[in-house]
Structure 1
Amino acid sequence: MTTPRSAPWTAQEIATLRAWYPAEGHSVAQRLPGRSIHALQVKAHKLGLKTAHRNAAPRPRLGGGDLDEAIRLREVENWSFSAIGKHFGICEASACNAVTIALCVRRGYRPAERDQHGRLTAEGIERLRYALKKGYKGIDIQLRLGVSAACVSEQRRRYNRELLARGKAPLPPPGGGQAYSGVKLSPAKRRKVEDLFLQGLGTQKIADRTGVSRTSCTRIRARLLRRLRRKGETLPGCDAAGVRHVHAQSARFVTDEQKDLLRAMLLDHVPVQRAARELVIGASSAYRLRDAFAAELAGEGQVLPPPRRPGRARHAPVRSSSWPPASPREIYAFRRLLGTMAFDEAKAHWEETRRAEARAARDAAATRKLTFEEQLAKVASGELGITRGFVRNHLEPRRPLQVTIA
């Protein structure tokens, strides 16, 4: 019969624990059948007992060919530790510890010093604390010192308690305050990210606004989706599987102001493609909007006026180098300006910025020294000419003066 949890320890059980725990560790549970392993650990910690039967650091969950394959998946295939853990049937933390501890030696770092029992020595702890004071990320400390994530977290907690007791400033946040996927987020930060997801924003926009890494935002979104799915709900703009079909405040969509300006230009007999080019709207989107406007006017009993095409021009119109935006990258950059500016203001800002960039490029090209090949190319094209060499008097030989005495 198992002894109840609240049963006090007898003097004989304590003596057995003192005598055999340092040598046998958890195996002393066979000598105390009425006590669980957890109870033995708690009592041994209270008595200050430590095991001495280990002569090496704890072994990682992966080894041999599995460890080499895990390192290949991480370094070559760029798999996440979560995916590696699922592949080998272990948790993410175990996969992370196994790979980083192995890479510590393979990359030429010096692992943290340990004693014969596998515990960190005072020198090893001092090196770890120095890395914590420098604000290194947890994954970087694991890689440089060959320790587990739990070891880094435990040493951070102990060091912060010591600093607080001495009245010192706490340790800097991991990563020097920069966002990365392994940083621990506060509950308020998580709630802010979830609120933005519920507003229909995407992962990249939320990461830019909050400073939280994309990896952390993706994980928060996955947990939020599971909670909403249990309630029979989903995120705005997403289907039941969580796939987003409507992006809020996206630069890929036409703003309401652009639609109004397009409508005004169509009513003013401007051709669709010309209006789309001037308003930075794709041709396909412009034709769809034109059809929607025509259907709306037809419902009101009106007809969309036909475009006015003056005919083929003899000379092609000269396109400004700053307007309109040509490539998709420029188009999306201009539409991002429309999120905070009106169309006319954004257009003026865009043209001024592009003119300034063009002036800076011309100045840089004018001051840059041409290579010999570039000079030959300019001579061949006629931009530069070759001049005759001029006489340099200081290099010419001088004739001796002849003096005649009468």
Structure 2
Amino acid sequence: MNALPHPTSPATATPSPMPRRPVRRLAACVTAALALLAGGLAQATPAEAAATRIRLGSSADAGRSGWAGPAFTMNGSGGIVPASMTKAVDAIRGGTGSLDVVVLAASTPGSGSRTPECDAVMRLSGVNSCTTWTLTKASDGNNTQVNTDIRNAEFVYFAGGDQCKYAAWKSTALRASVQSVVAKGGGSGGGSAGHHINSSVVYDACRGSITSAEALADPYDAYATFTTGMFDWPHYAATINDSHFVTRDRMGRTMAFVARALEDGLTPGGKAWGVGVEEGGSLFIDKNGLATLYGADAYVVLGDHRPERARPGQPLTYSDYKIWRLTSGRTFDFANRPTCGYYLKSVTDGVTDPDPYNGTPVTGC
């Protein structure tokens, strides 16, 4: 797989001190504490919104005895990528009939349509209906109607937003309902936070977002938190997804996540695979594990040995990550993962080799 020059590759070689992004959870705690002092607990904790359901298309579910998937879409930003979603829909329905989609979100959009993902899905052929569920608390994952809609659907799409809220559904009925969709030959996918939740190791961001500079300086930074055991899709084991990959310069933190997974035994077989997708990019993965990239670039980052140094409070050192850069139209076989075509980059004392988004592919493997 060719590694092409990237016109907008960020400079990642020398991390500089960076202020943390504001942490919403911390801000919420401070707000609640101030409200408690001002007027008591009843005023400090407003009532949570009820789960909301908006259905577009047919009010009746598509009826069919079998489906031809599974299929998956892994998107670098929150929105639907029509090309990859069309591939998933066609693969699941086997080119005939129509199917039902459920979109899961943890908050409503700040402006515009309340159903942006379903608006895009309903413009595709082969879709019978699209239902948006907005779930504002973890216990909504046990809502009977939510789980009925999911189990009757053939594709579940996790919207962008906050993957920590999605990870909280792990202990609810929703997890098994989504698994049942894939098991019957349907599919799953998502963008941004929804991309994160579909990997086998989930960077959950439950304490706030971490930058590449922070993660490389200390792979055990308190902001580097993970959820395991949420989903483990066919052919997609030992993966850690990341999104907004080049635009937000996330190669460094994916390298740190891979090192953490290896050091802590979060993935089997002594290997961990980071899958970073840029904004506007989408990996369509078919039932045989073959991924095809649509849109902006994606990167697969393999760690196949334990880090030379990954300890709390110390900068990361890791030699020879194997990195595949995918451009639109290129493929990556997750069922039979390649052993050639990668380029090599290392991290030494928390500093990456120059330009980790580009390299000369190794061919004599």
Task: Please confirm whether the aligned pair reaches a TM-score higher than 0.5, indicating the same fold.
Answer: no
User: Rg bigger for which structure?
Assistant: 1
Q: TM-score with structure 2 length normalisation?
A: 0.26
TM-score (norm 1): 0.24
Higher RCO structure (Cα 8 Å, ≥6 apart): 2
Task: Determine which structure has the larger helix proportion and give its number.
Answer: 1
